[in-house]
A = this chain, B = another copy of it.
Amino acid sequence: MSLDDVLARIDADLPDATDRLLDLLRIPSISTDPAFKTDCDRAADWLVADLQGLGIDASKRPTPGHPMVVGHVGDSGPHLLFYGHYDVQPVDPLDLWDNDPFDPQIEDTAKGRVIRGRGSSDDKGQLMTFVEALRAWKAVKGDWPCRITFFLEGEEESGSPSLVPFMKENAEELKTDIALICDTGLFESKTPAIVTMLRGLLGEELTVTGPTMDLHSGMYGGIAMNPIRVLSGIIASLHDDTGRITVPGFYDGVPELSDELEAQWQGLAFDHETFLGDVGLSQPAGEQDRTPLEMIWSRPTCDVNGIWGGYTGDGFKTVLPSKAHAKISFRLVGDQDPLAIRESFRQVVRDALPADYEVEFSGHGASQASGADTSGDMFEAARKALSDEWQIPAAYIGCGGSIPIAGHFQQILGTEPMLVGFGKDDDAIHSPNEKYDMESFHKGIRSWARILDALS
């Protein structure tokens, strides 16, 4: 039996596959709210039963929080791991939902058929694309494409507190040739993509203190240096006129794009006007000599995420405050060393302090960028499979944010992560009326069948 038979089976089985997904979506597995602890457990049980029904050796594995679902199947060929998560975001504000978030519906919309409900896109729908692909494969071929390990989490939406300890304790069991992660989307809702670059993150909170107490700006204004002015000066100095970040050594380890990737990204014809226009902007404001995609994927950044000091209530109070505070973060790429940058940044701040001033820092996370090594055959094989299914050339893309699980696979297990997903930009994940396009679900299942065929 050929891949085409598997794809045909997927097409024929789509109604049943959809019913199974709806069944899973009915379980309100909100991981962050203790009131839903039993429901998280039920979702894990549902998955264990479904995998066992396929003949997979799956079980619920306890953690201090919600359980992991781990399963193994197959005994020859390359060893793939599949990661997804069965927990979902809270549903507040409930009154903005058109329907009960846990009574999922199939809806026909102007843009096509969608599966509506909490978790439909993030991540139960995506998770089930892989399960359904494997179900069809087994049904048609009577065997497994290769060795496969399932690793399904129930705490992704609440910070994954048990993830790293569990991976470390079970490293031998979870080590595979590659880790398939299905929690991302199509590029601009249409181009299949494998995320191969994830920016790292360095967070710093700082408090500058001048006078030991809040002062009256009439009495001390003009003779006492104002801490908000000091902090503003520091923030203003972090970028030069061309948009480059001025922290010494900051660009050490920042790589240039390969010619191949540059060509791929060129081919994506990123519509930055729409991307910015959606949020009321028009001009890319990063480094002058960089393309918009470089700005959000492959170049490091410095943003102020919060600032406060003095009187911030209604009306006016002529206070000359003692302190000013900011939360500043750096998105990192390539081999940038977060700890070296932290030290350099702190020195910049200390050097900028006027007489009598002090500064206190507290670090909030320091994670290096992660990039998948796409040089092996697997990445190119998967990319071709995706291109075949979607009839659009698939691309290796970046992701400006962090997906910590990707780095964990690399650092804890030494396994290369391959991030493939079928979500669309308008899926409203984390928001009311979350949906997953039937196209995403259907072609997602077919995509995995093709990828399994290509990798095995």
A interface residues with partner B (beta carbon < 8 Å): 199, 201, 203, 205, 210-213, 215-226, 228-229, 231-233, 235-239, 272, 275-276, 279-286, 292, 295-296, 299-301, 303-312, 315-321, 324-327, 329, 331, 354-356, 364-365, 399-402
- Interface pair A218/B401, CB less than 8 Å apart: yes
- Interface pair A331/B221, CB less than 8 Å apart: yes
Q: A227 CB to closest chain B CB, in angstroms?
A: 9
Q: What are 29 A-B residue pairs whose CB atoms fall within 8 Å in the complex? A: A210-B280, A211-B280, A212-B279, A216-B401, A217-B303, A218-B401, A218-B402, A219-B296, A219-B400, A220-B279, A220-B296, A221-B303, A222-B286, A222-B295, A222-B296, A222-B301, A223-B286, A224-B281, A226-B304, A232-B235, A233-B235, A236-B236, A236-B237, A285-B355, A303-B318, A304-B309, A304-B310, A307-B308, A318-B329
- Interface pair B223/A292, CB less than 8 Å apart: yes
A401 CA / B222 CA spacing, docked (Å): 11
- Interface pair B296/A320, CB less than 8 Å apart: no
A211 CA / B285 CA spacing, docked (Å): 12
- Interface pair A318/B201, CB less than 8 Å apart: yes
Please tell me which one of the listed residues B222, B306, B355, B402 contacts residue A400 in the complex, with CB atoms under 8 A apart: B222
Given contacts A276-B223, A285-B223, A305-B317, contact A217 B331 (CB under 8 A): yes
Given contacts A211-B279, A211-B280, contact A221 B296 (CB under 8 A): yes
Give the copy number: 2
Kindly report which residue of chain B lies nearest to residue A319, judged by CB atoms.
B305
Please tell me which one of the listed residues B217, B304, B310, B315 contacts residue A228 in the complex, with CB atoms under 8 A apart: B304
A292 CA / B325 CA spacing, docked (Å): 28
Residues of chain B with a CB closer than 8 A to A327's CB: 310-312, 316-317
Q: A371 CB to closest chain B CB, in angstroms?
A: 15
Given contacts A226-B303, A327-B310, contact A356 B320 (CB under 8 A): no
Residues of chain B with a CB closer than 8 A to A217's CB: 301, 303, 305, 329, 331
A281 CA / B221 CA spacing, docked (Å): 13
A312 CA / B215 CA spacing, docked (Å): 22
- Interface pair B312/A325, CB less than 8 Å apart: yes
Q: A359 CB to closest chain B CB, in angstroms?
A: 14
Residues of chain B with a CB closer than 8 A to A237's CB: 236
Q: A248 CB to closest chain B CB, in angstroms?
A: 19
Please tell me which one of the listed residues B216, B229, B311 contacts residue A306 in the complex, with CB atoms under 8 A apart: B311
Besides A232-B233, A283-B355, 20 new A-B residue pairs in contact (Cβ under 8 A), listed by A number: A210-B281, A217-B305, A219-B401, A220-B400, A221-B303, A221-B400, A222-B286, A225-B283, A225-B285, A228-B306, A229-B303, A231-B232, A232-B307, A233-B236, A236-B236, A281-B355, A283-B356, A306-B310, A307-B312, A308-B312
Q: A231 CB to closest chain B CB, in angstroms?
A: 7
A201 CA / B316 CA spacing, docked (Å): 11
